[in-house]
Structure 1
Amino acid sequence: MIPKLEAIKHLFLHEWDPIGVVEFPEAADEYDSYALRVFTALHSGATEQDIADYLTWLELDHMGLSVSSGRSEAIACKVIEIHASVPSA
């Protein structure tokens, strides 16, 4: 396991969770592919705004939600904090 990636997965499931799957154990991996993409983007130099824009895009365009959860900026800030403080391996 990669601690930084696991921390982002946890963040997405427990704090972002735009479709409300946290209470369904069978959906615990619902956001894993998005977390992996963010993890990879961070290593390519993605900024906090890049992450926020991606999360908003996921909610509105990819997931088809009519309104963003409004948490994208706060979650992006936490992703940057994870990137700075959690070891990659």
Structure 2
Amino acid sequence: MGKKLPPEELELYKAIDEILWRDWDPIGVNEMPEARDEYQSYLPHIFRLAVEGKDAKHISSSLVATIEGNIGLGASKEHCHRVASKIVSAKNEIIG
């Protein structure tokens, strides 16, 4: 994140960070506090998709691609869609 975000976008950024950590957690490390930054490199892209108004299907596809392409694991499309839906809901609640 190179620029300062408006307050609502900063709130959304933090909410998505928490969703990725708590709910997405494709490698199962969210019970280890020392790994708290594990998914933060993926956060700016997912945040941008949400701010741009992408739907849960689009965000879910990106989450699946990240797991399979970057992390190198198999992905549950259903799980990623549930996580993406939470991200879209957070965006709608915080920014509208």
Question: Structure 1 length as normaliser, TM-score?
Answer: 0.86
- Give the superposed CA RMSD: 1.8
Q: Would you say 1:72 and 2:63 are equivalent positions?
A: no
Question: Residues of 1 paired with 2:49 and 2:84: CA distance?
Answer: 12
Q: Secondary structure at the match of 2:81?
A: helix
Matches within 5 A, 1:37-56: 37-56=45-64
The alignment of Structure 1 onto Structure 2 pairs a total of residues equal to 87
Q: Secondary structure at the match of 1:82?
A: helix
Q: Which has the higher contact order (CA 8 A, sep 6+)?
A: 1
CA contact (8 A) 2:51 2:91 kept: no
Name the residue aligned to 1:25. Answer: 33
1:10 to 10, 18, 24: 18
Name the residue aligned to 2:3. Answer: none
Q: CA deviation at 1:44?
A: 2.5
Q: CA deviation at 1:33?
A: 2.2
Percent identity reads 30
Q: Which runs of 5+ in 1 are unaligned?
A: none
Question: Residues of 2 paired with 1:75 and 1:48: CA distance?
Answer: 8
Letter in 2 for 1:35: L
Name the residue aligned to 2:89. Answer: 81
